[in-house]
Chains A and B, each alone.
Chain A
Amino acid sequence: MSATMSETILPTRLRLYRMMYLIRRAEELLMAEYHPANEMRCPIHFCVGQEAMPAALSAVLRRDDVLMSHYRSHGYYLAKGAPLDAMVAEFYGKATGANSGVAGSMELGSHDYNFYSGAIVGGSLFIPLGAAFSQKYRGVDDISLSVIGDGVFDEGIAYEIFNLAALHRLPLLIICENNKYAAHTALERRQAVTLLAERAKVFGLPIDKLDGNDAELLLDTLQRLVPQIRAGKGPHFIEIETYRFCGHVGPGTDEGMGYRSAAEIQQWKARDPVLTMRKRLAESAEGDALEGVEREVEAQIHAAIAAAKRADFADINDILANNWSGGYSSVVDRFTGASAPIFRGDQSEARPGPF
Chain B
Amino acid sequence: MLSPQNQATQSTRLTFAQAINAGLRQALELDPAVFVYGIGADGPAGIFGTTSGLVDKFGPRRVFDTPIAEAGLAALAAGAASSGLRPVLVHQRLDFMLYSVDQVVNWMAPWRFMSGGRAKMPVTIRAIIGKGWGQGPQHTKSLHAWFAHVPGLQVVMPGSPADAKGLLLSSIMSDDPTLFIEGRALFSMQDEVPDAPYFIRLGEALVRREGSDVTIVTMGSMVPLCLQAADALDASAISAELVDLRCLMPLDVASVIASVKKTGRLVVVEPGWRMYGAAAEIIATVAETLGNNMRSRPRRVTWPQSAVPTGSKLEEQFYPTSDDIVGACRASVTEASGAK
Residues of A in contact with B (beta carbons under 8 Å apart): 66, 97-103, 107, 109, 111-112, 116, 118, 120, 122-123, 125-135, 137-138, 144, 156-157, 160-161, 163-164, 167, 314, 318-319, 321-329, 331-332, 335-336, 340-347, 349-355
Residue of B nearest to A163 (CB): B67
State how many angstroms separate the Cβ of A128 from the closest Cβ of chain B.
6
Total inter-chain residue pairs, C-beta < 8 Å: 232
| Chain A residues whose C-beta falls within 8 Å of the C-beta of B161 in the assembled complex | 350
Is A328 in contact with B199, judged by CB distance below 8 angstroms?
Answer: yes
CB of B253 closer than 8 Å to a CB of A: no
Is A157 in contact with B83, judged by CB distance below 8 angstroms?
Answer: no
Is B191 in contact with A157, judged by CB distance below 8 angstroms?
Answer: no
Residue of A nearest to B84 (CB): A134
| Chain B residues whose C-beta falls within 8 Å of the C-beta of A100 in the assembled complex | 116-117
Stretch with Cβ within 8 A of A (4 or more), from B71-79, B259-267, B288-296, B305-313: B71-79
Is A323 in contact with B35, judged by CB distance below 8 angstroms?
Answer: no
Contact flag A346-B208 (CB < 8 Å), given A321-B117, A327-B175, A328-B170: yes
Question: How many residues of B are in contact with the other chain, CB < 8 A?
Answer: 85
Is B35 in contact with A137, judged by CB distance below 8 angstroms?
Answer: yes
Residue of B nearest to A125 (CB): B75
Contact flag A322-B197 (CB < 8 Å), given A342-B5, A353-B15: no
Bound-state Cα–Cα, A46 to B166, Å: 49
Bound-state Cα–Cα, A322 to B117, Å: 5
Is A328 in contact with B196, judged by CB distance below 8 angstroms?
Answer: no
Is B79 in contact with A352, judged by CB distance below 8 angstroms?
Answer: no
Is B175 in contact with A329, judged by CB distance below 8 angstroms?
Answer: yes
Residue of A nearest to B67 (CB): A163
Residue of B nearest to A355 (CB): B188
CB of B206 closer than 8 Å to a CB of A: yes
| Chain A residues whose C-beta falls within 8 Å of the C-beta of B7 in the assembled complex | 341-342, 344
Bound-state Cα–Cα, A351 to B192, Å: 10
| Chain A residues whose C-beta falls within 8 Å of the C-beta of B151 in the assembled complex | 323-324
Which of B3, B5, B115 is close to A99, meaning CB atoms less than 8 Å apart? Answer: B115
| Chain A residues whose C-beta falls within 8 Å of the C-beta of B58 in the assembled complex | none
A126-B76, A352-B189 known, 15 other contacts, Cβ within 8 Å: A127-B82, A130-B83, A131-B83, A137-B85, A318-B117, A323-B110, A328-B175, A331-B173, A343-B11, A343-B194, A350-B223, A351-B227, A355-B186, A355-B187, A355-B189
State how many angstroms separate the Cβ of B266 from the closest Cβ of chain A.
21
Contact flag A160-B69 (CB < 8 Å), given A118-B107, A131-B82: yes
State how many angstroms separate the Cβ of B99 from the closest Cβ of chain A.
9
Is B194 in contact with A134, judged by CB distance below 8 angstroms?
Answer: no
Which of B71, B113, B225 is close to A160, meaning CB atoms less than 8 Å apart? Answer: B71
Is A161 in contact with B116, judged by CB distance below 8 angstroms?
Answer: no
State how many angstroms separate the Cβ of A317 from the closest Cβ of chain B.
12
Is A99 in contact with B116, judged by CB distance below 8 angstroms?
Answer: yes
The 8 closest A-B pairs by CB, nearest first: A130-B79, A100-B116, A160-B72, A345-B4, A352-B224, A126-B75, A341-B196, A134-B83
CB of B120 closer than 8 Å to a CB of A: yes
